[in-house]
């Protein structure tokens, strides 16, 4: 074998010199480091499942925020949030629907790509929208693959714990894709639940939450969202599981917490729960009030002519060029346009003269 290798190398070098060059150029990584073994984790790199497991093992709370576009993703990145969920709640928060059901996979992929361009550090999780994974495990895997390949996500999330959903989660995991489960209030199932209703408020429902979470863990999920369940139920599920739980309206005993970007900023009323802000949501700011005030002031200044003033009209043309411009307009027979330009130049000069004198 060694003799064959030396013979081939000799033939390649002398008879086909371009072949060795081609082989070296097949990788853009230096030939002596095509595989260098595992490298130390850089804390500035993307959060991974390993990071989450380490935090969970140490009892460090995990932070997750649901966001849908580039600006919000940049904010999450700057704040050091662990997980960014691109949720199908975009249907309600961004698109104005009353439920999450109408949003399509193509619309979700647009949101996913936007977030992926802005969030460089958080683990990115994309929701599988309603109607894209229920028919078969093949459909579920195909949709999950699209979310990673076309959406730029690191993992997917799917709702519910029925046998078919558990099977779908297992198939997606076996396809090499990380899966986050979701139990309790599952917005895609409001047809069955009778609306956005909390779960786990009686014994059978509470036991079902825990059992479903355990089933999702056994299917290979790396984490489970617990939505709108009583705190003792969430505490039981968190204790029973070996994987992190992420609570939303589930009390303080989960491994981490998630809120929607717009909700926690107080940007607008989230359409959940009869179109009022969810009871579980703390508004850490009142950005909506600031936005409304800013828009009102903008409208007022445009209406009264104070915006844009000299400081927001930065592009200048010198006096000699103004005169030449006016002459050219007049030559073209555009007398009205020449008059308008002359008046504007005079007003700008008057408006700027006090600051120049000062």
Provide the annotated active-site residues: 227
In 3D space, the residue among 239, 270, 272, 234 whose CA is nearest the CA of residue 250 turns out to be: 234
Alpha carbon distance 245, 257 (integer Å): 8
Nearest-angstrom CA–CA distance, 203 and 275: 29
Beta carbons of 249 and 278 less than 8 angstroms apart = yes
- What lies within 8 Å, CB to CB, of 237 at 6+ separation is 183, 209, 210, 213, 224, 226, 229, 245
CA trace torsion 278, 279, 282, 283 (10° rounding): 50
Q: How far apart are CA 171 and CA 167, in angstroms?
A: 6
By the 8 A CB rule, do 270 and 92 touch?
yes
Asked whether 268 and 277 are in contact (CB, 8 A), the reply is: no
Q: 89-92: long-range contacts at Cβ-Cβ below 8 A with a sequence spacing of 24 or more? A: 89/127, 89/187, 89/260, 91/129, 92/270, 92/271, 92/272
Number of other residues whose CB lies within 10 A of the CB of residue 240: 13
169 in Cβ contact with 220 (< 8 Å): yes
Q: Is 184:199 a contact under the CB 8 Å cutoff?
A: yes
């Amino acid at each position: 074998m060694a003799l064959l290798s030396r013979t081939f190398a000799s033939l390649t070098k002398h008879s086909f010199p371009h072949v060795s060059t081609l082989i070296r150029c097949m990788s853009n990584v230096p030939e002596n480091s095509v595989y260098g073994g595992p490298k130390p984790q850089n804390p500035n790199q993307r959060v991974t499942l390993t990071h989450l497991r380490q935090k969970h093992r140490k009892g460090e709370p995990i932070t997750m925020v649901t966001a849908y576009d580039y600006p919000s993703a940049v904010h999450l990145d700057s704040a050091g949030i662990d997980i960014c969920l691109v949720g199908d709640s975009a249907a309600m928060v961004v698109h104005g629907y009353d439920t999450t059901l109408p949003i399509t996979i193509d619309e979700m992929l647009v949101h996913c790509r936007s977030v992926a361009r802005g969030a460089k550090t958080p683990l990115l999780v994309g929701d599988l929208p309603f109607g894209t994974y229920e028919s078969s495990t093949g459909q579920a895997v195909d949709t999950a693959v699209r979310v990673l390949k076309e959406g730029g996500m690191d993992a997917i999330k799917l709702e519910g714990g029925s046998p078919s959903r558990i099977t779908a989660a297992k198939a997606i995991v076996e396809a090499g894709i990380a899966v986050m489960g979701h139990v309790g209030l599952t917005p895609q199932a409001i047809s069955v639940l009778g609306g956005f209703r909390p779960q786990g408020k009686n014994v059978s429902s509470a036991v079902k939450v825990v059992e479903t979470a355990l089933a999702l863990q056994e299917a290979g999920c790396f984490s489970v969202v617990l939505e709108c369940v009583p705190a003792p139920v969430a505490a039981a599920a968190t204790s029973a599981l070996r994987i992190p739980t992420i609570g939303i309206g589930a009390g303080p005993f989960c491994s981490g917490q998630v809120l929607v970007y717009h909700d926690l900023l107080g940007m607008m009323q989230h359409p959940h729960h009869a179109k009022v802000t969810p009871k579980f949501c703390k508004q850490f700011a009142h950005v909506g009030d600031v936005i409304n005030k800013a828009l009102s002031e903008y409208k007022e200044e445009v209406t009264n002519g104070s915006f844009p003033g000299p400081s927001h009209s930065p592009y200048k043309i010198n006096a000699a060029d103004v005169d030449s411009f006016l002459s050219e307009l007049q030559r073209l027979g555009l007398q009205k346009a020449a008059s308008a330009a002359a008046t504007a130049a005079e007003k700008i000069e008057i408006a700027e003269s006090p600051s120049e004198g000062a």
